[in-house]
A and B are shown apart, each in its own frame.
Chain A
Amino acid sequence: MRPLIEMRSIQKSFGGNIVLNGVDFEVLPGEVHALMGENGAGKSTLIKVLTGIYERDGGTIVVNGREVHYRHPKEAERDGIVVIHQELNVIPTLTVAENIFLGREPKIGRTGVIRYKEMEQQAASYLRRLGMDLDPRELAGRLSVGKQQMIEIARAISTNAKCLIMDEPTAALTEREIQALFSVIRTLTQQGVAIVYISHRMEEIFTICDRISVLRDGQFIGTKRVKETNFDEIVQMMVGRQIGERFPKRRVTIGEERLRVERLTKKGLFENVSFSVRAGEVLGVAGLMGSGRTEIMEAIFGARPFDEGDIYIDGRPVRIRSPRQAVEHGIAMITEDRKQKGLVLEMSVHENLTLPKLEQLATAGFIQSSKEWDVVLSLIHLLNIKASSPDLPVKALSGGNQQKVVFGKWLAMNPRILILDEPTRGVDVGAKKEIYEVINELAAQGVAIIMISSELPEVLGMSDRVMVVHEGKVQAILENDGLDQETIMRAATGGNR
Chain B
Amino acid sequence: MMEAKRKWDVKKLGPLIGLFLLCIVLSILSDDFLTMDNWLNLLRQVSINALIAFGMTFVILTGGIDLSVGSVLALSSAITAGMMAQGINGFVAILVGLLAGMVMGVLNGVIITKGKVAPFIATLATMTAFRGLTLVYTDGRPITGFASDDIMFQMMGRGYFFGIPVPIILMLMVYIALYVVLKKTTFGRHTYAVGGNEEASRLSGLRVDRLKIYVYALTGTLSALAGLILTSRLNSAQPTAGTAYELDAIAAVVLGGTSLSGGRGWIFGTLVGALIIGVLNNGLNLLNVSSFYQQVIKGAVILLAVLLDRRKEA
Contact = CB atoms under 8 A, between A and B. Distances in A.
B205 A356 contact: yes
Contacts of B207: 324
A179 B173 CA distance: 65
B200 A343 contact: yes
A359 interface: yes
Contact of B184 (A342, A346, A366): A366
A303 interface: yes
Contacts of A345: 196-197
A278 interface: no
A344 B202 contact: no
A323 B200 contact: no
Interface string B185-228: 11101101100110111111111000000000000000000000
B213 to A, nearest CB: 15
Contacts of A358: 186, 189-190
Interface centre among A326, A345, A358 (most CB of B within 10 A): A358
A73 to B, nearest CB: 18
A347 B5 CA distance: 14
Interface string A76-96: 000000000000000000000
A326 B205 CA distance: 8
A366 B185 contact: yes
B12 interface: no
Contacts of A344: 192-193, 196-197, 200-201, 263
A118 interface: no
A392 interface: yes
B204 A355 contact: yes
A368 to B, nearest CB: 10
Contact of A340 (B184, B190, B199, B205): B199
A140 B206 CA distance: 35
A355 B184 contact: no
A37 to B, nearest CB: 23
Given A358-B189, A359-B186, A335 B196 contact: no
Q: How large is the interface on A (under 10, 10 to 19, 20 to 34, 35 or more residues)?
A: 20 to 34
Given A324-B207, A342-B200, A365 B186 contact: yes
Contacts of B5: 391
B1 interface: yes
Contact of B264 (A343, A346, A367): A346
A322 B187 CA distance: 19
A388 B85 CA distance: 63
A68 B180 CA distance: 57
A367 B205 contact: no
A264 to B, nearest CB: 19
Given A359-B186, A365-B186, A324 B196 contact: no
A324 B206 contact: yes
Contacts of A496: none
Given A341-B200, A347-B192, A389 B1 contact: yes
A365 B189 CA distance: 10
Nearest to A409: B204
Contacts of B202: 303, 322-323
Nearest to B185: A365
A347 B205 contact: no
Contacts of A342: 200, 203
Contact of B193 (A303, A322, A355, A388): A355
A333 interface: yes
Interface in A325-372: 326-328, 333, 335, 340-347, 351, 355-356, 358-359, 362, 365-367
Contacts of A409: 204
B205 A323 contact: yes
A326 B203 CA distance: 9
Nearest to A372: B189
A355 B206 contact: yes
B186 A356 contact: no
Interface in A386-406: 388-389, 391-392, 396
Contacts of A389: 1
B193 A333 contact: no
A323 B198 CA distance: 13
A341 B199 contact: yes
B278 to A, nearest CB: 30
B185 A367 contact: yes
A430 B234 CA distance: 69
B218 to A, nearest CB: 14
Interface in B129-172: none
Contacts of B186: 358-359, 362, 365-367
B205 A346 contact: no
Given A355-B204, A388-B1, A391-B5, A367 B189 contact: yes
A272 B207 CA distance: 30
Contacts of A323: 202-205
Nearest to B194: A344
Given A323-B205, A327-B204, 12 more contacts: A322-B202, A340-B199, A342-B200, A344-B193, A344-B197, A345-B197, A351-B192, A355-B206, A365-B185, A365-B186, A365-B187, A396-B4
Closest 9 CB pairs of A and B: A327-B205, A344-B196, A388-B1, A356-B204, A324-B205, A344-B197, A346-B196, A365-B185, A355-B204
Interface of B: 1, 4-5, 184-187, 189-190, 192-193, 196-197, 199-207, 263-264
8 contacts: A342-B200, A344-B196, A351-B189, A355-B189, A355-B193, A358-B186, A367-B185, A367-B186
